[in-house]
């Protein structure tokens, strides 16, 4: 007779599969730690899937499968480039494919992406479900088509559904029956295959602080990123070396997803400009640390004494993104100290006066459970999380 795996989003069933499961869905939405094994009451099984089969069943069964929130699954798709705009832009192409196949008995060309989202939202809200595989009208075709249309990419299909589901709703992939009945091995079900995004920075502390911040603030995304290990592989750490490394990767046509992050200072931007003259493949995204509001009038220390000025593009290394709380000492911001003059750029290069103090204060802040004030660091993380939503690379 066979067994079925079943995915649900906000309790609405989609992607049923006999004696197997869709590993591509698992690779896109889940991490190994999302796999759970737990006893459940049979009577609580989803009625949209099972009807009244288990309604009065007092026995337990062992649930085996993946479980995560809608918000988390949506964010995971976003770090690999999905957005509402991208899904909307793909919709006309999908409609064209669907119309060429002649599957639908209604004018699909008149259906907008907005109408599509409204319809699947209402289907989920009303639990409108049938198994007759009807294609005579749009609503029934969506129910028959796993809430999608022929021609959609799986990423776009899933993202569209997640976009209309409540953020705190649950996404669950129930593999219990296919595992418990021997159709799928548990080790096979637990195997997740995805490419980590390599993040390249100018220095060791950039890697340390950005990596630790993702782990603290967005732990559900941490496993998707890998940071260069400067110490283990004796990699040179500066902006010039970063340009050489990225140029080499581009030359050998590496297809791995890579994010390159330069400091928002004189040297960083000068070296970043060099990469703008190189043919960079689309899998490599070149960014700089974002401009800061607090840096627009920040105290600096030079030959003429202390002066407040805009240090964006001149002296914003990683320390400037660790929070105003760690930048303040004795009730005043630790000033930027101007260093060498860069003749090519006709600008000074600056850095925070007491770098080690600021770094140690941030390390303590990371360890404190109730710590806050990560506003500037969140700007960096947002630029990393949305890097692959950019069509090209960041403009200086």
Give the Cα-Cα-Cα angle 274, 278, 280 (nearest 5 degrees). 120
23-45 per-position pLDDT tens digit? 999 999 999 999 999 999 999 89
- What's the CA gap between 17 and 308, in Å, rounded? 64
225-245 per-position pLDDT tens digit? 999 877 766 677 899 999 999
Q: What pLDDT score was predicted for residue 276?
A: 87
Instruction: Give 18's Cβ-side CA count (13 Å radius).
Output: 2
Q: Residue 181: is its pLDDT beyond 90?
A: yes
70-105 per-position pLDDT tens digit? 999 999 999 999 999 999 999 999 999 999 988 898
Indicate the DSSP class of residue 42: G
Mean of all residue pLDDT scores within the chain: 93
271-317 per-position pLDDT tens digit? 999 998 888 999 999 999 999 999 999 999 987 678 999 999 999 99
Residues found in the chain: 396
- What's the CA gap between 68 and 172, in Å, rounded? 7
Q: What pLDDT score was predicted for residue 351?
A: 92
Q: What pLDDT score was predicted for residue 210?
A: 98
55 vs 220: which has the higher pLDDT: 220
CA 5 from chain center: how many Å?
26
Segments making up each domain of the chain, as ranges = 1-193, 197-389
Indicate the DSSP class of residue 189: H
Model confidence band, residue 395 (pLDDT cutoffs 50, 70, 90) = low
Give the Cα-Cα-Cα angle 357, 359, 365 (nearest 5 degrees). 105
195-212 per-position pLDDT tens digit? 999 999 998 999 999 999
Neighbouring residues of 158: CB distance < 8 A, sequence distance ≥ 6: 25, 28, 29, 73, 77
Model confidence band, residue 383 (pLDDT cutoffs 50, 70, 90) = very high
Q: What pLDDT score was predicted for residue 83?
A: 96
Q: Residue 55: is its pLDDT beyond 90?
A: no
Q: What pLDDT score was predicted for residue 237?
A: 82
Please check whether residue 80 is in contact with residue 186, taking contact to mean a CB–CB distance below 8 angstroms. no
Measured distance between the N- and C-terminal CA atoms of the chain, rounded to whole angstroms: 62
């Amino acid at each position: 007779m066979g067994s079925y795996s079943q995915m649900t989003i906000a309790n609405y069933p989609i992607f049923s599969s006999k004696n197997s499961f869709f590993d591509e869905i698992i690779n896109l939405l889940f991490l190994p730690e999302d796999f759970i094994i737990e006893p459940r009451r049979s009577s609580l099984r989803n009625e949209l899937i099972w009807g009244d089969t288990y309604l009065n069943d007092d026995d337990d069964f062992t649930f085996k499968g993946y479980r995560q929130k809608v918000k988390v699954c949506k964010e995971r798709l976003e770090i690999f480039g999905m957005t509402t705009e991208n899904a909307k832009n793909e919709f006309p192409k999908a409609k064209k494919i669907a119309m060429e196949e002649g599957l639908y008995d209604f004018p699909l060309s008149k259906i907008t992406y907005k109408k599509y989202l409204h319809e699947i939202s209402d289907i989920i809200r009303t639990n409108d479900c049938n198994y007759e595989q009807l294609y005579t009208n749009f609503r029934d075709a969506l129910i028959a088509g796993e809430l999608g249309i022929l021609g959609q990419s799986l990423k776009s299909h899933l993202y569209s559904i997640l976009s209309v589901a409540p953020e705190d709703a649950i996404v669950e992939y129930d593999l219990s029956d296919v595992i418990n009945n021997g159709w799928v091995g548990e080790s096979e079900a637990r195997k997740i295959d995805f490419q980590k995004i390599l993040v390249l920075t100018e220095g060791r502390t950039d890697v340390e602080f950005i990596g630790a911040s993702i782990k603290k603030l967005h732990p559900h995304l941490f496993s998707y990123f890998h940071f260069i290990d400067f110490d283990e592989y004796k990699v040179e750490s500066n902006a010039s070396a970063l340009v050489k490394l990225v140029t080499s990767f581009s030359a050998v046509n590496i297809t791995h997803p890579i994010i390159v992050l330069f400091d928002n200072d004189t040297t960083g931007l000068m070296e970043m400009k060099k990469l703008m003259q190189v043919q960079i493949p689309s899998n490599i995204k070149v960014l700089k640390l974002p401009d800061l509001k607090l840096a627009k009038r920040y105290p600096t220390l030079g030959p003429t004494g202390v002066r407040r000025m805009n240090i964006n593009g001149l002296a914003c290394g990683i320390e400037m993104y660790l929070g105003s709380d760690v930048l303040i000492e004795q009730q005043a911001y630790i000033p930027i100290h101007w260093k060498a003059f860069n003749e090519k750029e006709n600008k000074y290069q600056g850095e925070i006066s007491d770098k080690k103090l600021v770094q140690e204060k941030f390390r303590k802040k990371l360890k404190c459970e109730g710590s806050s004030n990560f506003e500037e660091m969140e700007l960096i993380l947002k630029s990393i999380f949305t890097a692959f939503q950019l069509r090209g690379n960041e403009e200086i």
